[in-house]
Amino acid sequence: MNALTVGDARRLVAPALATLLLEAALVSLGIWQLHRLAWKEALIARVEAQASAAPQPLPPPSAWAAMKPADEEFRHVSVDGTFDHAAETLILRASGEGPVFHVITPLRLAGGGTVMIDRGAVPADRKPPESRAAGEIAGPVHLTGLIRTPEPRNPFTPADRDGTFYTRDPAAIAAYHHLVDAAPFSIDADPAMVSPGGLPRPGGAELTLPNNHLSYALTWFGLGIALAGVFAVYTWRRMVGGPS
């Protein structure tokens, strides 16, 4: 093995500095993902605790503006009111059985205000309300469910049309039906809230939150190890006088 000459050492300075900078960036990204992992695990624990807690009365409309979406998501609540079936809205969703429609019905609360209730899903052939008339509950109802914040749209989200929506957006649904007292969130009815006739079929909110931060951290750390290996091989080839 040849000793490094002064010229070789000088030629290694720039690659070494670049490698150190990249290593620092990769390690920082890995550590950041570990911090995100701890945050996500705490969030999942809080969401599961909120969802499994006994339902608490929904705050009155005067408190809605001050409610923070991040704190309220999946909070288990109870509400009393009357369904406004004339303002029913459908949200198209994919499922293992093919396309289904989630039935969103405004609930006019006994104490004032309106909340959009996701009552569950119906198959495409039961989309017309008259095909499931038994489920059009009349009169006062008491129900429990989980608060859901609005879903964001993306460039690939189709435009809402003819009373069919593609995202859970209470404000857009309220505007479509000219409801001026609607809550800025919706409620997913609990699975126990079965409608007469069996439709809509409440499924409850999906509580599975993505948590890939550990795999992301391992990826960044792995890239850092690979980069160190590449630099080590490069330096070794310089020392033995092989091609670089």
Please write the tens of the pLDDT for every residue from 148-183: 999 988 888 888 887 789 999 999 999 999 999 999
Q: Where are the domains of the chain?
A: 75-198
pLDDT of residue 166: 92
Averaged pLDDT, 83-112:
90
**What is the pLDDT at residue 7?**
65
Residue-averaged pLDDT of the chain: 87
How many other C-beta atoms lie within 10 A of the C-beta of residue 150?
16
What's the whole-number mean pLDDT along residues 16-28?
Answer: 93
The model carries a pTM of 0.74
pLDDT for residue 21 is more than 60: yes
What pLDDT is stored for residue 44 in this prediction? 78
Residue 26 pLDDT: 94
Share of the chain above pLDDT 70, in %: 92
Tell me how far apart the alpha carbons of residues 158 and 167 are, in angstroms, rounded to a whole number.
Answer: 9
Q: How many CA atoms lie less than 13 Å away from 146 in the CB half-sphere? A: 24
What's the pLDDT band for 70 if we cut at 50, 70, 90?
confident
**Is 226's pLDDT higher than 90?**
yes
Please state, in angstroms and rounded to a whole number, the distance separating the CA atoms of residues 192 and 3: 77
The Cα-based distances of 234 to 27, 216, 229, 239, 240 in angstroms read 21, 27, 9, 9, 10
